[in-house]
C-alpha cells in the first residue's frame, strides 16, 4: 500500500489558483464604468480573494498536520470555506462558458 503524500493534499492542483498579476483598469476604455471599478479589476480582486482563502486553508492544514494548530474545528472551517469558494468559482466559470457558447451559436 502506497503512503499518502501530505504535501500533495495541500499543494495539489486544486489548491493553487496561481498569481494573476496586476489588472490595469486604464485599458477598459471607461465605457460603462460608472463606479470607477472595471470588470477586469473586480474579477482580479475576486480571484485574489479566492487565492488567499486557498492559501489560508493550506496553511491551516499544514499547521494541523504538524501539530501546531490548537483548534482543529477552525482548520476544518477554513478548509470547508476554501472548498466552497472554489466550487462557487468553478460554477461561475461553467455558467460563463455556457453563456459564451450560447452567444457564439446564436444566428443573426
Q: Give CA–CA dist 60/54, Å, rounded.
A: 10
Q: Give the pLDDT score at 106.
A: 87
Pick the more confident residue, 36 or 92.
Answer: 92
The model's pTM: 0.61
Detail the DSSP E strand segments found in 1-108: none
Q: Is 71 exposed, middle or buried (0-12, 13-18, 19+ CB in 10 A)?
A: exposed
Angular region, 30: left φ>0, alpha ψ -120 to 50, beta rest:
left
pLDDT digits (tens, 9 = 90+) for 29-87: 445 545 567 888 988 999 999 999 999 999 999 999 999 989 999 999 999 999 999 99
| Residue 56 vs residues 12, 19, 34, 42, 73: alpha-carbon distances, Å | 14, 15, 33, 21, 14
Helix, strand, or coil (residue 2)? coil
- Domain segments of the chain as ranges: 36-108
Grid cell in block for residue 6: 501530505
Amino acid at each position: 500500500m502506497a503512503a499518502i503524500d501530505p504535501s500533495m493534499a495541500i499543494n495539489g492542483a486544486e489548491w493553487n489558483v496561481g498569481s494573476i498579476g496586476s489588472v490595469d483598469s486604464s485599458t477598459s476604455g471607461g465605457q460603462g464604468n460608472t463606479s470607477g471599478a472595471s470588470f477586469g479589476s473586480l474579477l482580479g480582486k475576486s480571484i485574489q480573494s479566492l487565492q488567499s482563502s486557498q492559501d489560508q486553508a493550506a496553511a491551516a492544514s499544514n499547521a494541523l498536520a504538524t501539530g501546531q494548530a490548537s483548534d482543529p474545528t477552525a482548520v476544518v472551517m477554513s478548509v470547508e470555506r476554501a472548498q466552497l469558494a472554489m466550487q462557487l468559482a468553478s460554477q461561475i466559470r461553467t455558467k460563463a462558458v455556457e453563456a459564451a457558447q450560447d452567444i457564439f451559436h446564436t444566428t443573426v
